[in-house]
Chain A
Amino acid sequence: MNTALVIGVLATSIMSGASLLYATLGEMIGERAGIVNLGLEGIMLIGASTGFAATALTANPYVGVVAAAAAGAAANLIFAYLVVGRSANQLAAGLSLMFFGFGLSALLGRPFVGALTHSLPRLTLSGLEPNGTAARLLSHDILVYLALPVALLIWWLLFRTRWGLQLRAVGEDPAVAFAAGLKPNVLRYQALTIAGVLGGIGGAHVSVALALTWVEGMTAGRGFIAIALVIFAKWNPLWAVAGALLFGGAEGLQLQLQAAGADVSPFIMNMLPYLLTLLVLVLWGWSRQLAAPAALGRSFVGVE
């Protein structure tokens, strides 16, 4: 156990976890409103490709992130229209969105494969010794620094504002909410728009900050990890932060261990987050805890 390893793992967890966290928070908002979006991977890919393309075109990574957010929101609106406006089956719509994302991102990203871009700059406190411990832990791009505040913001939004209260009510029982005078469909559209923005940003972080490039399918299942994370975090943004660090760390841990000379199977390590989530779910089921929004997955057909 050397310190370089520990520092390295922490730094990777933070970097890797940031993109996961954004996507998780987005999915969480949608699920709090009762909509499960299996197409999150597609949204992230659209964000990653759009972000990278926009950065390459404008030489400005911030523009790239904004473009990714917009693209993510636009794509998610298609999904929103289908499941909220047309009461379509959420799973089928989500999977369709996933394939859409695979295809659209491949098309968008293709001219930009291999392009050299300015990555999101790392912001460091001046006066820190480069490659020293503090520098390693504290030099990240702006999206990483914003991740925690955004999580807190989402928590506050969901649990301390009227809007959040209404949203959660819709997620629990849209019929009752409707009867109480709320507009479930409007709230759901709003939630899914935010989810699209966050998912797009999560994807952009992978291409513009982490890997500094674009290849087809580059988010490599992060969207699904995020869906698992929402469950793991019990639909609570604060737990999502811990979960994102954990899942982000697991991914980087095995690479760090290799560099330090330890022998560990990357496959076993990568399995752990999923198995852990499953275990946690079994335990909750055992203790009869119902954490999920009661109306998750069901569409609401009412009269607007």
Chain B
Amino acid sequence: MRHDGATLWRLASAQAKAFALAAVIALAVFAMLLSVAGKDPLRAYVDTLVYVFGNAYGFSELLVRMVPLLLTAVAVALPARIGLINVGGEGQLYMGAWLTTAGALAFAEWPAFVLLPTLTLLGFVGGGLWALIPGALRALRLVNETISTLLLNYVAPLIVGYFIFGPWRSPESSAYPQSPAFVEAAQLPTFFHSRVHAGLLYALACLVLYWFVMTRTRFGLEMRAIGGNPEAARRLGVPIFSYMLAVMFVAGGVAGLAGMAEVTAIQGRLVSELSPGYGFIGFLVSWLARTGAGGILTMSFLFAVISSVGDILQITQGLPFAVVNILMAVILFIVLAQPARSVGR
């Protein structure tokens, strides 16, 4: 497959056109649904545009929303290149948040310039170890990783729940079950009086690194070989076993960073509801982007815009935020229905 500029551009714009068409149709379908429900879809769409593009706060919220999506998407895309399916982003996010909290509570007296890198590392390791379990099970040919990552998604929030109701229950507000608030030094810095935080830098760095490794290193090429034909790769001496472990660990780690960002920047503590399905949305983002880095950036942005529609629906139209999932799903349905997409697994 040629990767020269012209072909890539053609491919990308063909994809973009197909997606844009899907989005337009979906917006129309969604508008019809909203009208039937007695709401005003045009008003909602206009309000969203105003909010998101005409308003610095609205735009900053978009960026905030993109952070976990970028990270969880990379967490899916990386193993996908090697033929592994990681639907465990949720769990990996929670475990990253969990280990970060352990560090934030234990090392609360450390200064920020030591504490924040430590917490970043802990977030990465937490998610990474959680993904390593299914990775190892798969490498040992014991359990399919789709199933094991899915199962572990449910165990992780329960572990978090156990800790915030138990050993980490905040004593100052024995009132509400959550961890104590993180000290200032443990909170990621924000920019420009908005909630945009350093996690955005992590996300972009991961994305760039991902792109670089996949397209510019031998490792990336070897991974493509494994993904395409594991047997041949094995015979060529590529250490599939170690690569599987490494890739799952790194992928889980990236998702873990999303958890770390949530607790240090957005929530300021460990709470039981960290993710409205970021892990799953990340899967969809990666899938739509066909694991390409540029696509991940674009799709994350678009999904963040869709979420803003949900906010507007809630505030101005009195609809539950969840309703915006219909819009998201219909876009996906239309894309899924197009024949040129993946055939087979």
Contact = CB atoms under 8 A, between A and B. Distances in A.
Q: Check A-B contact in the complex, CB < 8 A.
A: yes
Interface of A: 38, 78, 81-82, 86-93, 95-100, 102-107, 110, 216-217, 221, 224-225, 227-228, 231, 265, 267-268, 270-271, 274-275, 277-278, 281-282, 285-286, 292, 297-299, 301
Q: Lowest 7 A-B CB distances belong to which pairs? A: A103-B325, A285-B142, A100-B329, A103-B326, A106-B322, A267-B162, A96-B332
Nearest to B34: A107
A298 B345 contact: yes
Contacts of A99: 277, 280, 325, 328-329, 332
A107 B155 contact: no
A92 B277 contact: no
Given A102-B325, A217-B322, 7 more contacts: A82-B333, A82-B337, A99-B332, A224-B150, A265-B166, A267-B165, A282-B143
A292 B161 CA distance: 33
B326 A100 contact: yes
A82 B328 CA distance: 16
Contacts, number: 145
Contacts of A231: 147
A96 B323 contact: no
A38 B87 contact: yes
B37 interface: yes
B155 to A, nearest CB: 5
Most chain A beta-carbon neighbours within 10 Å: one of B283, B326, B339: B326
B69 to A, nearest CB: 14
A83 to B, nearest CB: 8
A228 to B, nearest CB: 6
Main SS at interface, chain A: helix
B162 A268 contact: yes
Given A99-B325, A107-B323, A88 B337 contact: yes
B148 A98 contact: no
B325 A227 contact: no
A107 B319 CA distance: 7
Given A89-B287, A92-B284, A267-B158, A227 B150 contact: yes
23 contacts: A86-B338, A88-B337, A89-B287, A92-B284, A92-B336, A99-B325, A100-B325, A100-B330, A103-B324, A103-B329, A105-B322, A106-B320, A106-B323, A265-B165, A267-B158, A267-B165, A268-B162, A270-B158, A271-B154, A278-B148, A281-B147, A285-B141, A298-B345
B344 A96 contact: no
Contacts of A102: 322, 325
Contacts of B330: 100
B155 A110 contact: no
B320 A110 contact: yes
A89 B323 CA distance: 24
B332 A91 contact: no
A95 B142 contact: no
A298 B344 contact: yes
Contacts of A274: 151-152, 154-155
B319 to A, nearest CB: 7
Contact of A95 (B143, B155, B280, B344): B280
B175 interface: no
Contacts of B87: 38, 91, 95
Given A99-B328, A301-B344, A86 B146 contact: no
